[in-house]
Amino acid sequence: EKAAGEVKVCPALHRVLGTALKIANLINHGSSEGARGFPVSSFPAFATFKVGSVSSLFFLCSKLCTPGFLDGLEADLTHVFRAARASTSAFREEVAQLAAARADAHAHVASERDPRAKAHAEALLFSLNGEQAQLSRVSEAAQAAVREAQLFLCERADPPLPSEEFFGHIVQLVSHLRRVTESAEFEQHQEQQEQERRERQRQKALWLPSAGGDPAMEPRDSDTEADAAAAFEAARAA
């Protein structure tokens, strides 16, 4: 349940998927409009897609992955990483073992003739019944929470994805982002962006009204974003 809750409230994850959706729409439709959802299970296909020499994943990272972004993303998804390592089949086996133990205790109560032994068996059966009831409540609540989280991220598989598979897709998404941001190519790109940022600041200082510059001609940070989007669109059209 905690992992499902993290999925629904993690702003960095929502930002990644929202930006990926815009890029996918740009590729497929030529604008940011188009599809209204981006299932996290489709991220691997998105990550391997290239438009000309521009990787959609690289472009995504260049837009979002500032220093500390991925560290914060992973910190917000602590329980997701744990849930991805869980096993639905192992959980079902534990449930089956508990049911078998309960059946054995029930049979023992029915067949036992010794009063003291029968009392011990009844106490064991009572305890096992309580465990089974609690396990059923927890299991149903967890399944409902995971299903709600899947729908929240536009995963509409029927039946729903196993919880470890769903959370595994999110872990894989983070891994894709980490791989790109730790590459030498991305480090060079970040250095270039930093140089461009400093150049914009220098030009901005030159165009201050007190220095006689025209405020309408002042460079803006949004200009760089527009240039990046235009470059990606040009690569798509090539």
Q: What is the pLDDT of residues 210-227, one digit of tens each?
A: 545 554 444 444 444 444
Res. 230: pLDDT tops 90: no
The C-alpha atoms of residue 203 and residue 220 are separated, in whole angstroms, by: 10
Res. 27: pLDDT tops 60: yes
Res. 142: pLDDT tops 80: yes
The C-alpha atoms of residue 135 and residue 104 are separated, in whole angstroms, by: 18
* pLDDT confidence bin for 76, thresholds 50/70/90: very high
- Comparing 228 with 94, the larger pLDDT belongs to 94
pLDDT digits (tens, 9 = 90+) for 146-159: 999 999 998 988 89
Q: What pLDDT, on the 0 to 100 scale, is given for residue 235? A: 45
Pick the range with the lowest mean pLDDT from 7-21, 68-82, 179-193. Answer: 179-193
Res. 177: pLDDT tops 50: yes
* pLDDT confidence bin for 182, thresholds 50/70/90: confident
Predicted model pTM: 0.71
Q: What pLDDT, on the 0 to 100 scale, is given for residue 227? A: 47
Question: How is residue 129 written in tokens?
Answer: 């019944």
Q: What average pLDDT does the chain have?
A: 82
How far lies 130's CA from each of 3, 109, 118, 214, 221, in Å? 26, 16, 18, 76, 61
CB 18 within 8 A of CB 162: no
List, in sequence order, every residue forming a beta bridge with 54; answer none if it has no partner.
Answer: 51
Q: What is the DSSP string of the chain?
A: -HHHHHHHH-HHHHHHHHHHHHHHHHHHHSSS-S-S---GGGHHHHHT-EETTEEHHHHHHHHH--TTHHHHHHHHTHHHHHHHT--HHHHHHHHHHHHHHHHHHHHHHHH--SHHHHHHHHHHHHHHHHHHHHHHHHHHHHHHHHHHHHHHTT---SSPPPHHHHHHHHHHHHHHHHHHHTSHHHHHHHHHHHHHHHHHHHHHHHT-GGGT--GGG---HHHHHHHHHHHHHHHHH-
Place of tokens 């837009």: 63
Q: What is the mean pLDDT of residues 128-152?
A: 91
Res. 232: pLDDT tops 50: no
Q: What pLDDT, on the 0 to 100 scale, is given for residue 189? A: 66
User: Which among 178, 136, 142 is positioned nearest to 3, based on CA atoms?
Assistant: 142
Q: What is the mean pLDDT of residues 177-199?
A: 75
Burial 32-62 (b: 16+ CB within 10 A, else e): eeeeeebbbbbbeebbeeebeebbbbbbbbb
* pLDDT confidence bin for 238, thresholds 50/70/90: very low
Q: What pLDDT, on the 0 to 100 scale, is given for residue 224? A: 42
